[in-house]
Amino acid sequence: MLKKIFFIVFFFFFSNPNLFAVDEISLKEQNWTFDGVFGRYDKETLQRGLQVYQEVCSVCHGMKRLRFRELKDLGFNEEQIKAYAETFEIQDGPNDEGEMFLRPGEPSDSFVSPYRNKEEAKAAFGGAYPPDLSLLTKAYKNGPDYIYSLLTGYEENPPKDFDLPEGLYYNPYHDGNVIAMPPPLYDDAIEYIDGTDANLHQLSYDIVSFLNWAAEPELQKRKSLGLKVLLFLIVLTLLLYVTMKEIWARIEK
């Protein structure tokens, strides 16, 4: 009797794989220019993404792994990069007197973080640490689509049965559907230098593209090398095939 009950329970639970499945919200998949074997970064998109970072994201987030000189990949020349770096103050030292000092930024310097250390950043945000954005797209599965979905997924009115803590925001793409960061982007949050319409989609698309480039600046070189290797292997395979046919043809004779 116990065996019969066991098999009934086993069949009921394991023949219904969706019984305990949690509904996962689908990410807003985008047609990224850098996707696929032939994917490439669009320099205009990256330049706009840099502007979004500088005018919006850099207030709270740093990018310590990115150096100013790397902006040459975005189409900036040495003079432009030097002028941009000099708009920042870098703490350096010690000098001959053993003191730290501030100096204008140089192309070899890393992007400046808005806070001196992690503890200062957490104190400014009530204990929540604004993460460094250098490798953000690599920190999540389907990183670009996830971050895009998060940036465009804020909802003013959560479901009626959802208890939203005071001071937090409802976002179905974040763990627990709750996030401490206020919506950073919205229509016309900035005015693009190139005149592009700064709607929420465009702003989010551009900043995510920029963040993906920052996390993987060698993507284009890697894909180009991969294609060359693949082409070489195809040619080599054909040559080996023709050679082997010739050899076996002689043996058969």
Judge if the upstream peptide bond of residue 94 is cis by omega within 30 degrees of 0: yes
Percent of the chain whose pLDDT exceeds 90: 58
Q: What is the pLDDT of residues 137-161, one digit of tens each?
A: 999 999 999 999 999 999 999 999 9
Output the DSSP codes for 56-121.
TGGGT---TT-BGGGGGGGT--HHHHHHHHTTSEEEE---TTS--EEEE--TTSBPPPSSSSHHHH
Q: What is the pLDDT of residues 167-199, one digit of tens each?
A: 899 999 998 999 989 999 999 999 999 999 999
Residue 86: pLDDT above 90?
yes
- Structure tokens belonging to residue 68: 């100013």
Residue 163: pLDDT above 70?
yes
Residue 85: pLDDT above 70?
yes
Phi, psi of 125 (to 5 degrees): -120, 30
Mean of pLDDT over the chain: 85
Residue 14: pLDDT above 70?
no
229 contacts: CB under 8 Å, gap ≥ 6: none
Sketch the domain layout of the chain as residue ranges: 25-64+133-239
- How large is the average pLDDT for residues 192-218? 96
- How large is the average pLDDT for residues 98-112? 91
What pLDDT, on the 0 to 100 scale, is given for residue 126?
78
CATH number at 25-64+133-239: 1.10.760.10
What pLDDT, on the 0 to 100 scale, is given for residue 245?
73
What pLDDT, on the 0 to 100 scale, is given for residue 17?
42
Residue 241: pLDDT above 80?
no
